[in-house]
Amino acid sequence: MTDPDELSVGDPTTMRTRRLSRMCDTCVFRSGNPMHLAPGRLRDLIEQAQQEQSYIICHSTLPGMAAADVKPAVCRGFADRYPTQALQLIELLFGFDDVEPPPKA
């Protein structure tokens, strides 16, 4: 099981939230299903994040998917499409640190 701290999109130094500056190369929101998700899986992820008024963490920044020096960040594809309560509050209270997507493996 992954340690919840490993999934934090918060930067303790800047006190802001990491968000990708643009969609990663294999973003689940790109056309053509570049991550080969099962039918309905993206819909389920979106619905869950919306129900929780939260966000999706970019898969290319998750532990085990990214290089050790890459920290989790909010998925830009999701953030640009779904202004959930969490994303709105982050923007108003703290702001975002837009970070470049990790290089393609």
**Domain edges within the chain:** 4-99
Give the containing element (helix H, strand E) for 45.
Answer: helix 41-51
Q: What is the pTM of this model?
A: 0.92
d(CA 105, CA 99): 17
pLDDT at 2: 56
Alpha-carbon torsion, ordered 21, 99, 25, 103, to 10 deg: 150
The sheet carrying 16-20 orders its strands as: 10-11, 16-20, 96-99
From first to last of its 105 residues, the chain has per-residue pLDDT tens of 456 678 899 999 999 999 999 999 999 999 999 899 999 999 999 999 999 999 999 999 999 888 889 999 999 999 999 999 999 999 999 999 999 999 876
Q: Are 86 and 75 in contact (CB under 8 A)?
A: no
Place of tokens 């994303």: 87
